[in-house]
Amino acid sequence: MGLKTKEEYIESLRQMKPTAYMFGEKITSVVDNPRLRAGIESTGATYELAQMPEYQSLLVTHSPLVDEPVNRFTLPPGSTEDLVARVKINRTLGRWVGTCHQRCTGLDCLSALSIVTYDIDQKYKGSYFERFKEFLKYVQKNDLTCNAGVTDVKGDRSLGPQEQADKDMYLHVVQRRSDGVVVRGAKAHQTGSLSSHEIIVLPTRALRKGDEDYAIAFAIPADSPGLIHVVGRSSLDKRELDGCDVGNIRYSKYCPTVIFDDVFVPWERVFMCGEVEFAAEMVIKFSSYHRQSHGGCKSGKIDCMTGAALAMMDYSGTEKSSHLKQKIIDMVHRAETLYGCSLAASYEGKKQPSGAYFIDTVLANASKIHEGKEMAEAIRLMVDISGGYVADLPSDKDIENPEIGPLLKKYLKGKDQVAVEDRIKMYRLIEKMAMESADTISDIHGGGSPEAHRVTIFRECDLEARKKAAKRLAGIDSKPE
C-alpha cells in the first residue's frame, strides 16, 4: 500500500473495532467521537505533512528494508541523519499541532527493538530479530501508527514484579502455548492508543531472575480481543464533546489506560520472552529515544506558545512593552536550548551492532530534565504576558447570548483595530496550552519520571574520565596502585 494519506489513515481506523470506554460509557465509534477525533487529527498531521511538498522531504525517506519510500515514523534510525531528522520532524509537528502528535512513541519502540532483539539473538541464537524485521516490513508497507505500551501500573512501588500481592500489577505471561502466549496486566498513560493501528509492549523496568514472565515484548493490533482502552480524564476534556470553548480548534491529546485481559499474542509477534537480563537495555534504549523525541516536539510547542503570547501583546496594545519583550526572549531561549540538546544527542549518536543508530543517552536525558523545568516556566511566562482572562474568560455560550453577548464583547475588547472575537480565540488557545493536564503533565512525567532521567545520566555518563581530567590538572598521580 505504501504511504497513506490522512484520509486513508482515518478510514483505516474506522475499519478497526477496539473496545473502548470513556466517562463510564462504551464508545461505538472512536473516529466519530469529538474528544478522540481531536487526538486522531493530531496523529493525522503526520500523514498530512508527508503529502505536502514543503514537508515531504523531511517526513518521507527510502527504506532499505522494503526498498520503497516510507514515512519516517516507521523507520528506525540507520544513520546520524535519521537521528537528526527525528528531532526536526518533531519540532515541525509540535509547531503544527500545538500539542502531542502521538506517533513518536511507536517509532521509539521500533528503534529500541531494532537494537535489542539483535543483541538477544547474539546470545541465544534465536529468531527475535528476524521476527521483528518481518513486523517492521508490515508496518512500513502499510504506513501504520504504533503505540508504546511501556508504563505498568506497578502496584506497591516498594516491591518488584514477582513480589506483588497481585501479580497483574506488571504485565506478564500467564500461559505459554504452542502457537503463542497469553498476557495479562495494564499499561498506563497510553497516549494515542486509539489513534494507533498497533500496540507495541516493552518491559517497564530492569528485571532479575524470577521475573521471567514479566520480560515480555510483543506487538498486537489495537483492537485485539481482550484489549480494553479506558480513556483518562483530563482538564478541559469535555470541551471537544460540547463543541464550545475548545481553544485549539484542530488538535488535542487523550491518554487511556489499556487493560490486557488475557490477550493472546502469536509467537511471530513476540520479540522477547523471558530474557530478563535484556529488560534494562530495552528500557534504556526506548526511554532515551523518547527523551530525545521530546526535545523536538516540546520546542515546537513553545514556538506556538511564544506566538500566542506575541499575538496577545498585539491584540492588547502591549507589543512595545520592554519587560514583555524580555519574557518573549526567555521563552525563545528555552525552546532553542531544548532543541539544541536533542540535536546534540543525535549528532553524538553511534552505530549499534544491529546496524541501527542510537543517540547519546546523557544528552537525551539532560534535555528531558531541562524540559520538565523549563516547559513549566514557558507556560508561566505565556500566562504572565497574556493576563488573567486565561483563567476565567466567560464561555462562548455567554458571548453568543443575545442579552449579555454585546456587553461582553464591549468589555473584552483590546485594541480598537483588532476584532474582539480574535482576542477571545487567542485567550482560549492559551488556556488550552497552559491548562490541559493531558499535555502539560507529560512535560514532567512523559518518558519517565525526573528521577529516572537523573539516574540514567549518573549511570551512563563517564565519571571516571571527569575525575581523571581533574587529577591531571591538579598534578595528582591517577595511576592505580
Query: CA-CA distance, 261 to 299, in Å (whole number)?
Result: 38
| Residues linked to residue 152 through DSSP beta bridges, in sequence order | 187
254 in any annotated domain: no
For the chain, what percentages of helix, strand and coil (3-state, to nearest 5) are there?
55, 15, 30
119 in any annotated domain: no
The predicted model gives 277-298 an average pLDDT of 92
- Band the pLDDT of 210: cuts 50, 70, 90: very high
389 in any annotated domain: yes
pLDDT of residue 443: 65
Angle of helix 80-97 relative to helix 34-48, nearest 10 degrees, comes to 140
| Residues linked to residue 62 through DSSP beta bridges, in sequence order | 69
pLDDT of residue 61: 96
The predicted model gives 414-436 an average pLDDT of 94
pLDDT of residue 108: 96
427 in any annotated domain: yes
Query: CA-CA distance, 252 to 394, in Å (whole number)?
Result: 21
pLDDT of residue 451: 67
Query: CA-CA distance, 117 to 79, in Å (whole number)?
Result: 19
* Residue 145 near residue 200, CB atoms below 8 Å: no
pLDDT of residue 478: 58
183 in any annotated domain: no
Residue 98 confidence (pLDDT) above 70 = yes
The domain tally of the chain equals 1
CATH of the domain at 445: 1.20.140.10
* Residue 116 near residue 158, CB atoms below 8 Å: no
199 in any annotated domain: no
Query: CA-CA distance, 14 to 103, in Å (whole number)?
Result: 18
Give residue-wise pLDDT tens across range 187-200: 999 999 999 999 99
The predicted model gives 426-432 an average pLDDT of 95
Grid coordinates in use for 308? Answer: 500566542
* Residue 191 near residue 255, CB atoms below 8 Å: yes
Domain that holds residue 309: 282-464
Higher local confidence (pLDDT), 138 or 458:
138
Residue 469 confidence (pLDDT) above 90 = no
Using only the alpha carbons of the chain, give its radius of gyration: 24
Reference 456, options 340, 286, 328; nearest CA is 286
Among 268-277, 379-388, 407-416, 459-468, name the one with the lowest average pLDDT: 459-468
